[in-house]
Structure 1
Amino acid sequence: MSGGPVGGLGDSPAGAGPALKPYLKRKKSSLGETKIAVLGAEGVGKSALSVRFITKRFIGEYDQTAESKYKYSTMVDGEQMAFEVLDTRSVNDDCGAREDVLRWADGYVLVYSVVFRKSFELLKEVQKRVEDYRKGAASVPIVILANKADLAHMRQVTREEGQLFAASLGCPFIELSASEDVSDVTEAFHSLCRDIVEYKRRSRTFFGRVLGALGREKVS
């Protein structure tokens, strides 16, 4: 593993609006870079999942008063990939899906807890917010993670409900436990990375065709 976490980037003001935080300044990322925002209600395990991916270690307790952005470089399908992972803070049930976050990210990890039904219901609003901000762009890169699957005796959301929700969005779905399933956590982030790279390639091809057509019109 190269690179590492850069955490504790300051408190997120309650009710933060579209003002862009310095660490969320948007720079166009290349195919070898990917910016991922981890979204979800407070207490679903966003921090545990983010740190599990970056360090492979599980830590159960986190300071929920601040957002953290992590940088990490690893191989994905034989190619070096530079990740930036934003572990968001949920304020007033916004699940971290603020305008500055949605603008910054290339793709989104949507997390809910299988033992907290409200966290699942909130994700439906988050997904709409993502699509509205991205102006209904087809196949916005998203992966849905159902965390805390090890607490089966406390379950409030069935696996089938999660699968149906993901199927309605046409995105990957993984039910896992941040404390137990390090390989599943890694695969979730790698899967999203692949979708982001493909999304960028399709976008570049589309804009290339548009610019080419405009160029031909000018010549003629």
Structure 2
Amino acid sequence: MTTSKSKNQSSLVLHKVIMVGSGGVGKSALTLQFMYDEFVEDYEPTKADSYRKKVVLDGEEVQIDILDTAGQEDYAAIRDNYFRSGEGFLLVFSITEHESFTATSEFREQILRVKAENDTIPLLVVGNKSDLEDRRQVLVDEVRSKAEEWGVQYVETSAKTRANVDKVFFDLMREVRKKKMSESKDKGEKKGKIKKAFKCCLL
């Protein structure tokens, strides 16, 4: 019984998501809220924690693998390895801390450098702690113009009230799925071209 269950799970499509952002912006709180429907206020920062969950994305059962990275600079070298393995990224900052928003540009640069891809990388900018509106330091318009410049979506979340928590993970999975589909289509077209070329040579 157990083997068929694990077999079934391993056959599901897996989307690898990486949480990126400065320390204390609520990456772990968002992850734990999405995974377990609970808000953890005091979370010990770690090097990285990995979570896996089976979800239904637009009627299809898939698995999401979330890597919650630490924001501290000490882990910058390790972070490169994590970025390589990721398929989609949630770039998180706190709306109450302008510095954390400024840092998103550096994190994005690092992702682009490590991934070294010409086309777009599935990425969402997430302004967390939207429940602390009275302490807001980052203006919505400021982030929107940055997100537009990068060609990505901007969503505000609250790990505390669960506002938009599911939305950011599901929207990112859709972006990842879209990219995978276009890549497999490209591969198929390339294969077709190679076959055609091979046929010509044989003639």
- Give the TM-score normalised by the residue count of structure 2: 0.87
Distance 1:75 1:137 in 2: 30
- Does 1:56 find its partner at 2:40? no
* Structure 1 residue 151: Cα displacement: 1.6
- Select which of 63, 67, 70 maps to 1:86: 67
- Select which of 196, 199, 203 maps to 1:216: 196
Given residue 86 of structure 1, which amino acid in structure 2 is its aligned partner? L
Preserved CA contact (<8 Å) 1:41 1:93: no
- Does 1:189 find its partner at 2:169? yes
- Does 1:145 find its partner at 2:105? no
Matching residue of 1:160? 141
* Structure 1 residue 65: Cα displacement: 2.9
| CA-based RMSD | 2.0
Cα pair distance change 1:130/1:174, threshold 3 Å? same
- Does 1:47 find its partner at 2:28? yes
* Structure 1 residue 31: Cα displacement: 7.4
3-state secondary structure, aligned to 2:181: helix
3-state secondary structure, aligned to 2:96: coil
Preserved CA contact (<8 Å) 1:40 1:96: no
- Select which of 206, 211, 217 maps to 2:186: 206
Q: How does 1:95-174 map to 2 (within 5 A)?
A: 98-174=79-155
* Structure 1 residue 96: Cα displacement: 8.7
Percent identity over paired residues: 28
Deviation sequence 1:28-58 (CA, Å, 0-9, x none): x987210100000000000000011111111
Distance 1:61 1:137 in 2: 39
- Give the TM-score normalised by the residue count of structure 1: 0.81
**Larger helix fraction of residues:** 2
Preserved CA contact (<8 Å) 2:39 2:159: yes
Distance 1:131 1:41 in 2: 17
Matching residue of 2:3? none
Structure 1 stretches of at least 4 aligned residues deviating more than 6 Å after TM superposition: 93-97
Given residue 56 of structure 1, which amino acid in structure 2 is its aligned partner? D
3-state secondary structure, aligned to 1:137: coil
Stretches of structure 2 that go unaligned for 5 or more consecutive residues are 1-9
Q: Give the number of aligned pairs.
A: 191
Distance 1:31 1:171 in 2: 27
3-state secondary structure, aligned to 1:126: helix
Distance 1:67 1:139 in 2: 25
